[in-house]
Chains A and B, each alone.
Chain A
Amino acid sequence: MKKKIALLVVLVMALSFCFSGCGNSDKVVINVLNWGDYIDEELLDQFTEETGIEVNYQTMATNEEMLVKLEASDCIYDVCFPSDYIIEKLIAKDLLHEINKDNIPNIANIDERFLDLSFDPGNKYSVPYMWGTVGILYNTTMVNEPVVSWDILWDEKYDQQIFMYDSIRDSIGVALMKEGYSINTRDEAHIAAAEAALIEQKPLVLAYLGDSIKESMINGDAALAIVYSGDAMWCVDPEEGNPDLDYAVPETGSNLWFDNVIIPKSSQHTEEAEAFINFLCDAEVAKANTEYIGYSTPNKAAMALLDESYTENPIYNPPQEILDKCEIFHDLGDFINVYNDAWNNIKGQ
């Protein structure tokens, strides 16, 4: 028995030593929650080298998953990268920290086009990170017609040749646009029509995927896929991707989206988080980041440094007439449950 007690004492001592050891360290760790493949991870090391702040980096697959993590009462994150409509919801729920712009002088590098947007007037809570469109990535060896309309995703010629996005707003949004409705509709009849369209389309769909769409399309597994423009940049790259692939935004318009950086209200390290945001807005950092992930940067100082293969590329920098036809997602409040039910019905079919 004595031996056991001795063992226990040793154990407790060892544990408390470990905890105090961790506690004594001056290093602040910020918890960053991001999408997969959405930052050049070498930049995280560079940030730690420059500031001494450590980054604990985690990833999520969809906006909705991020929202669940941020709404949870035990939210541990200091920095997150949600899209426009999620930011709108987080602001409405009073879950975001009001950013101290004095700590982010590099915000001057951001193009005014991306500031003061409707989901966060005056950018009180968020700083632009990346932006882009939603469109159709297609393999030119399998699709011999111009891709100009969402209807091509319902063409029986492409049976088992279509990847859809496993994401509620994106996939239902595509069906709404095909039917000619707003992607922010609050009309149950419109949702019912979109649901019917997606159920009709389901037999043609090869799979509902997330990030793995990129790799599958590069491998030539299917002819058509819904992707974000930034992923398309990566896929059409002749070296890392597949030169047979091309990207089109339908003539009738699409979804224009913005992913901004936010700090949850529960964060204990807001100053360090602001230092991280300021770091991301640095021209050189933003350039390295956008080149690495392929998504379009809202940073005009970085744009000035970028090669023409980016700035003149219609996937990376779509012309204004296309953007004018695009619509931004808005938070739907409780009406999102109608979307959720429709999506459940589609997936469960």
Chain B
Amino acid sequence: MKRTVFAYPYVVWMLIFILAPMLMIGYYAFTSEGAFTMENVVGALTNEMYMQVLLRSVWIALKATVICLLLGYPIAYLLSNMKKSTASLLSVLFIVPMWMNFLLRTYAWQVLLSPSGLLNGLLEVLGLPTQQFLYTESAIMLGTVYNFLPFMILPIYTVLSKMDRSLIEASHDLGANSVTTFLKVIFPLSIPGVISGITMVFIPAITTFAISRLLGGGKFMLYGDLIENQFITLGMDAWGSGSALSFILLVLVLISMAIMRKAERDAGEEGGGKLW
């Protein structure tokens, strides 16, 4: 009884801020002047330009996720092998930037990368030709990886640091070298962390819109930008198509989460089977 009382505020919160907006998206996506219609969703799915933007978003999010994994796993691995005190100090350093609003951090990159910015100033001092860093697809990639890398490192680090060290010792005792130990013992055991890292990077990356606008100069429209544009500049008339686009993105996110969940289960069974 007591516990459920404490849950009420959360339930109310969920109803107002999660369920109600989703229902509204569903309503606007599937109605036109009050009557049911598939027009908005079909229109959004058959519009060649919208699909092109969706593909670009998926592609950028996938690339950013892979880069985050390639950078984040070694960092998490190194952290987990350090002394506890050093590791916790370093992991705090990874979290500290997240105390600042991510828009501010993205603006900071704008200043660093701009033609008259710090990076080009440095190139000039070294006598090298200046480069156009800002307003390129690479700048968007940099901003995405920078913003979401901690979400990859932390879950992997958590799994790795909680791993039973005796398993690694056992692997060495049984004659496996470090590479084999890593591939056969450490990596399979860290899969849950990797999967939650991938989920936590891919989903915000595919839905982002501010990064592409600030660092891409409005030249590389992502699906998030497209949705924002429908609501902010096109107004009431575009709520139907804006909601349809949001709905499609929502379905895409749910599908990718289901895939991750399945991968995690499969890995769990497999790893478990081999371990014991």
Q: Which residues of chain B have C-beta atoms less than 8 A from A344's C-beta?
A: 49, 226, 229
A344 to B241, CA, bound (A): 13
Verify if B232 is at the interface (C-beta below 8 Å from A): yes
Distance in angstroms between the alpha carbons of A206 and B218 in the assembled complex:
9
**A219–B116 Cα gap in the complex (Å)?**
6
B177 on the A face (CB < 8 A): no
Which residue from chain B places its CB closest to the CB of A334 in the assembled complex? B237
Q: Which of A190-234 contact B (CB under 8 A)?
A: 202, 205-209, 216, 219-222
Which residues of chain B have C-beta atoms less than 8 A from A348's C-beta?
A: 49-50, 52-53, 221, 226
Residues of A within 8 A of B238 (CB): 340
- Best-buried of A220, A337, A344, A349 by chain B (most CB within 10 Å): A344
Cβ contacts under 8 Å, A219 to chain B: 114-116
How many A residues touch the partner, as a band? Answer: 20 to 34
Q: Does A71 contact B (CB under 8 A)?
A: yes
Q: Which residues of chain B from 215 to 234 have any CB-CB distance to chain A below 8 Å in the complex?
A: 216-219, 221, 225-226, 229, 231-234
* Chain B residues positioned under 8 Å from A206 (CB to CB): 132, 135, 217
Q: How many residues of B contact A (CB 8 A)?
A: 26
Contact partner of B49 (CB less than 8 A), chosen from A65, A68, A208, A345, is A345
Q: How many Å lie between the Cα of A219 and that of B118 in the bound state?
A: 12
CB closest chain-B residue, reference A73: B236
Q: Is B235 an interface residue (CB 8 A)?
A: yes
Is A221 a contact of B116 with CB atoms below 8 Å? yes
CB atoms of B232 and A65 under 8 A apart: yes
A207 touching B232, Cβ below 8 Å: no
Within 8 Å of chain B (Cβ to Cβ): is A291? no
List A contacts of B236 (CB < 8 A).
Answer: 68, 71-72
Give chain B interface residues in 12-56, CB to chain A under 8 Å.
Answer: 49-50, 52-53
- The residue in chain A whose Cβ has the minimal distance to the Cβ of B53 is A348
Query: Which residues of A have CB within 8 Å of B234?
Result: 64, 68, 340
Q: Which 3 pairs across A and B sit closest by C-beta, in order of nearness?
A: A207-B217, A208-B218, A64-B233
Name B residues whose Cβ lies closer than 8 Å to a Cβ of A: 49-50, 52-53, 114-116, 132, 134-135, 216-219, 221, 225-226, 229, 231-238
Interface residues of A (CB under 8 A from B): 62, 64-65, 67-68, 71-72, 160, 166, 168, 202, 205-209, 216, 219-222, 337, 340, 344-345, 347-349
14 contacts between A and B (CB under 8 A): A62-B233, A68-B235, A72-B236, A160-B132, A205-B219, A206-B217, A207-B134, A207-B218, A207-B219, A219-B114, A220-B116, A221-B115, A344-B226, A347-B225
